[in-house]
Amino acid sequence: MRVERYLENPIITPEMVKPYHEGFEVIGAFNAGVAQYNGEILLVL
């Protein structure tokens, strides 16, 4: 299976995410991947 990144989707970085509470620090961000394979939608975290 060939997988390519869709260039119109941005990569989310920790600097783009506002902390939920004052005093919290965002140290990571998860960028999920989605693919359609054999008629199924797959979400990769």
Give residue 45's pLDDT: 80
- 3-state DSSP assignment of residue 14: helix
Token pair 């506002």 is found at: 18
Per-residue pLDDT of the chain (45 residues), as tens digits, is 777 778 888 889 999 999 999 999 999 999 888 888 899 999 988
